[in-house]
Amino acid sequence: MKKIIILVLFGLAFSMPAFALDGNEILKQVDGNLNPESFEMYRKLINIEPDGTKKEFVMFSVKKGREKIASIFISPASEKGRSTLRIGENMWLYIPNVGKPLRITSLQSVTGGVFNNSDIMRVDYNLEYNCEKIETTDKGYTLYLRAKLKNVAYETLTMFIDSKRLLPYKIEAYAASGMLIKNLYFKEVKDFGNGVVRPSIIETDSPLYKGYKSYIVFAKVKKRELAGEIFSLNYMHKIDGLR
């Protein structure tokens, strides 16, 4: 039975739950379950066009804290050696034959397809969003999130969370106009070892790109201590040496 606190004010009695769910705290726990504090991983990104044509990319990535992630392309050969860096809202792409990092934005995509740079270079959700509302469901929680940074890809997110694992199973991403931009589906929760248990596949589709789908498949996700100097413009051409 839920405990009730009775408040008496000016002769009137009010009742309220003795505790309230904190959406931002739940969001932080979700972020912690999705990503260890400092880790490395391999990812395969697959873009599928309406005619069934596929294009695949393999990336090695390292992430530290809430807002730093760096990656390098391993394949295909045409992309090998390209690297990306994100620190908070700032993103860069390094192309070997250009020789210097180029600024990129969250809505662009270094791989094409439905995933944009914000999806591919994902930092913790609680860095970018505040929870404005929380609802309980049969499966867990629904968080209604609004952007707190300027240069984010989506103005609002609706995140559906499995309460048993505190992991998302679906996210709906919306523009400031309220238009649905994208669905993200988190699938096949896998134990990667050393306490890392998270979805191994993220699938996305969009009403703006009918017939197109993209997937990210995660592999070899493991905790790793990483020096801060790795997440700098001067290190982007050396990320492959971390493998």
- What are the residue boundaries of the structural domains of the chain, listed by start? 20-242
Tens of pLDDT, residue by residue, the chain (243 residues): 444 433 333 344 333 343 468 999 999 999 999 999 999 999 999 999 999 999 999 999 999 999 999 999 999 999 999 999 999 999 999 999 998 999 999 999 999 999 999 999 999 999 999 999 999 999 999 999 999 988 899 999 999 999 999 999 999 999 999 999 999 999 999 999 999 999 999 999 999 999 999 999 999 999 999 999 999 999 999 999 999
pLDDT value, residue 20: 67
- Tell me which residue has tokens 């309980």: 136
Nearest to 134 by CA among 124, 142, 126: 142
Asked if residue 117 lies in contact with residue 67, where contact means CB atoms within 8 angstroms, the answer is no
Asked if residue 70 lies in contact with residue 122, where contact means CB atoms within 8 angstroms, the answer is no
Residues 6+ apart with CB under 8 A from 180: 172, 173, 174, 207
Give this prediction's pTM.
0.89
Looking at domain 20-242, its CATH superfamily turns out to be Lipoprotein localisation LolA/LolB/LppX (2.50.20.10)
pLDDT value, residue 183: 98
pLDDT value, residue 149: 80
Label residue 12 exposed, middle or buried (CB < 10 Å: 0-12, 13-18, 19+). exposed
